[in-house]
Amino acid sequence: MTIALNFPLTPKSEIPHYSPQGNECALFESAWTRQLPVLLKGPTGCGKTRFVQHMAAKLGLPVSTVSCHDDLTAADLTGRYLLKGGETVWVDGPLTRAVRNGGICYLDEIVEARKDVAVVLHPLTDDRRILPLERTGEILEAQPAFMVVVSYNPGYQNLMKALKPSTRQRFVSIEFDFLPRDKEITTVAIESGLSEAKVAPLVDLARRLRILKGQDIEEGVSTRLLIYCATLIEAGMPVADAVRAAIVEPLTDEPDVKAALLEVAKAMFA
């Protein structure tokens, strides 16, 4: 299937850097070609959002990113009536705009949103590909170039915030994890400007601290935090200060745990 695009292609030099872990790029492109929705799952900061940005640019698609939270409702996605110039007018939400015009609507951490958000996605994620707008009486058929992508972190799921099987089974699913050591070093170096030789100890520290996930810390060190840390070091900040600010402090508020993490870092950079 060939989908005609009316969007300007992103120059190759401007496509966001992404280092593939496996066949996820080919899988995503195949899902896009066949108009299938995609679910990305993996730990915080492992590259899910960057992957969507990379693939959107590669395919020449605009992307609307919605960061889901407890107060996000279906109306925030579909739209609502607002007062403008003394008149009540309908204003499309990001999902509706993508359905009308094409492009990717990316819902980051879908399980954080209210339950009615998942429900509104159901008719868009099967063979109907429609979006009923009860408030306007419209039933929108998705443009051929429309795609819905959602993500979540399985490590944060609990009984109160879990993706229902009826929703999960509407998506092609791609699992993510942190990059292998060499690829992570390269990625952090490219993003921060710090040399790979100086990035390597940071990645080794992160890999060591990730073992503590679920014990002393709730979540492992993300690649995002490593990029922040390397960026601070590249800007001239001492390594110890950068590690504290960009790695240790974001991981925990517990004084004893912070002290232990700092000791691990001190030993590795001695």
For the entire predicted model, the pTM comes to 0.87
| Tokens at 17, concatenated | 């850097």
More confident residue, 17 or 213: 17
Under a CB-based contact definition with an 8 Å cutoff, are residues 247 and 220 in contact? no
* Domain range summary for the chain, segments of one domain joined by +: 12-175, 181-268
| pLDDT of 8 above 80 | no
pLDDT bucket at 86, cuts 50 / 70 / 90: confident
**Measured between alpha carbons, how far is 69 from 161 in angstroms, rounded to an integer?**
11
**Measured between alpha carbons, how far is 120 from 67 in angstroms, rounded to an integer?**
16
Q: What is the mean pLDDT of residues 167-178?
A: 94
SS3 call for 39:
strand
| Tokens at 62, concatenated | 């605009």
SS3 call for 196:
helix
- Cα torsion angle, 209, 251, 108, 103, sign: negative
Output the CATH code of domain 12-175.
3.40.50.300
Distances (CA, A) of 14 to 17, 20, 53, 105, 228: 9, 17, 11, 21, 21
Give backbone dihedrals phi and psi of 88, rounded to 5 degrees, phi first: -95, 120
Q: How many CB atoms lie within 10 A of CB 58?
A: 18
Q: What is the pLDDT of residues 118-146, one digit of tens each?
A: 889 999 999 999 999 998 999 999 999 99
Q: What is the predicted pLDDT for the residue at 146?
A: 97
| pLDDT of 269 above 50 | yes
Torsion, Cα 62 68 71 72, to 10 degrees, reads 30
Under a CB-based contact definition with an 8 Å cutoff, are residues 151 and 108 in contact? yes
Residue 203, burial from CB neighbour count under 10 angstroms (0-12, 13-18, 19+): buried
Q: What is the predicted pLDDT for the residue at 63?
A: 95
**Measured between alpha carbons, how far is 68 from 49 in angstroms, rounded to an integer?**
13
Q: What is the predicted pLDDT for the residue at 5?
A: 64
- Torsion region of 261: left, alpha or beta (phi above 0 gives left; psi -120 to 50 gives alpha): alpha
Q: What is the predicted pLDDT for the residue at 165?
A: 87
| Tokens at 115, concatenated | 């339950």
Q: What is the pLDDT of residues 108-118, one digit of tens each?
A: 999 999 888 98
Q: What is the predicted pLDDT for the residue at 159?
A: 46
